[in-house]
């Protein structure tokens, strides 16, 4: 699993920086537990889990995950993937593999039957198992570029590039 935090209006890398509110980022302003799905480069979807209160546009980008079920469908949707670690090792790949598109923007991740977060583990990972580093691809964000807001599980190979250290 790999995630990146986006801390709302003060975060220069967030789509809501400075209070920017558009049709594209409207879901970011919803209450926590909703999906914010957007298009990058005009062709790849990315999915965030909105994590703040309503009107506090804080979210977590799901950058990568380790697939453990449903891989035949993922391989059909990601024909270029040759190994399980290639299926969801980046935010665009993940959305393609899981068939997440803009139609799921705003989905309630608690009650929606198309896209939801499922609790599989109740125990926390020890701090030493989590690698923290800077986010990927936000070089334009000034002093927010190097902030330690990217999180991965140590040793997990199903993460995006550049691989965290």
pLDDT tens profile 27-39:
999 999 999 999 9
- Res 121: pLDDT: 66
Q: Look up residue 164 and give its two tokens.
A: 């965290």
For 27-48, letters b (16+ CB in 10 Å) and e give bbbbebbbbbbbeeeeeebbbb
Residue 125 clears pLDDT 90, i.e. is over it: no
Q: Confidence class of residue 124 from pLDDT cuts 50, 70 and 90? A: confident
* Cα–Cα distance, 126 to 140 (Å, whole number): 33
- Res 144: pLDDT: 98
Q: Following DSSP, what letter does each residue of 22-91 receive, concatenated?
A: -TTTGGGGSPTTBEEEEEETTTEEEEEEE-S-TT---EEEEEE----S-HHHHHHH-TT--SGGGTSSSH
Q: Confidence class of residue 164 from pLDDT cuts 50, 70 and 90? A: confident
User: Cα 105 to the chain's mean position, in Å?
Assistant: 13
Read off the pLDDT of each residue in 113-140 and give the average, rounded to a whole number. 88
* Cα–Cα distance, 20 to 43 (Å, whole number): 22
Residue 24 clears pLDDT 90, i.e. is over it: yes
- Res 17: pLDDT: 98
Q: Please give the model's pTM, rounded to 2 decimal places.
A: 0.94
Read off the pLDDT of each residue in 134-153 and give the average, rounded to a whole number. 96
Residue 63 clears pLDDT 70, i.e. is over it: yes
Instruction: Report the residue count for the chain.
Output: 165
User: Which of 56-65, 94-103, 153-162 is the least confident region?
Assistant: 153-162
2-153: CATH number: 3.10.300.10
For 26, half-sphere exposure in the C-beta direction (CA atoms, 13 angstrom radius) is 8
Q: Look up residue 78 and give its two tokens.
A: 């990601």
* Cα–Cα distance, 145 to 140 (Å, whole number): 7
* Cα–Cα distance, 146 to 151 (Å, whole number): 13
Query: For the segment 77-100, what is each residue's pLDDT rounded down to a tens digit?
Result: 999 999 999 999 999 999 999 999
Burial of 106 (0-12, 13-18, 19+ CB in 10 A): middle
Name the residue ranges covered by the structural domains of the chain: 2-153
């Amino acid at each position: 699993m790999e995630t990146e935090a986006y801390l709302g209006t003060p975060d220069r890398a967030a789509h809501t920086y400075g209070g920017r509110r558009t049709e594209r980022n409207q879901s970011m302003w919803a209450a926590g537990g909703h999906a914010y799905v957007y298009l990058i480069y005009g062709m790849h979807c990315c999915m965030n889990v909105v994590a703040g209160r309503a009107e506090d546009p804080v979210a977590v980008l799901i950058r990568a995950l380790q697939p453990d079920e449903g891989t035949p469908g993922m391989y059909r949707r990601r024909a270029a993937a040759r190994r399980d670690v290639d299926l969801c090792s980046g935010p665009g790949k993940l959305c393609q593999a899981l068939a997440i598109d803009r139609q799921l923007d705003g989905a309630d991740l608690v009650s929606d039957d198309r896209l939801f977060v499922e609790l599989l583990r109740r125990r926390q990972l020890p701090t030493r198992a989590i690698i923290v580093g800077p986010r990927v691809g936000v070089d334009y964000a000034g002093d927010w570029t190097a902030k330690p807001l990217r999180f991965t599980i140590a040793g997990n190979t199903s993460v995006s590039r550049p691989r965290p250290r």
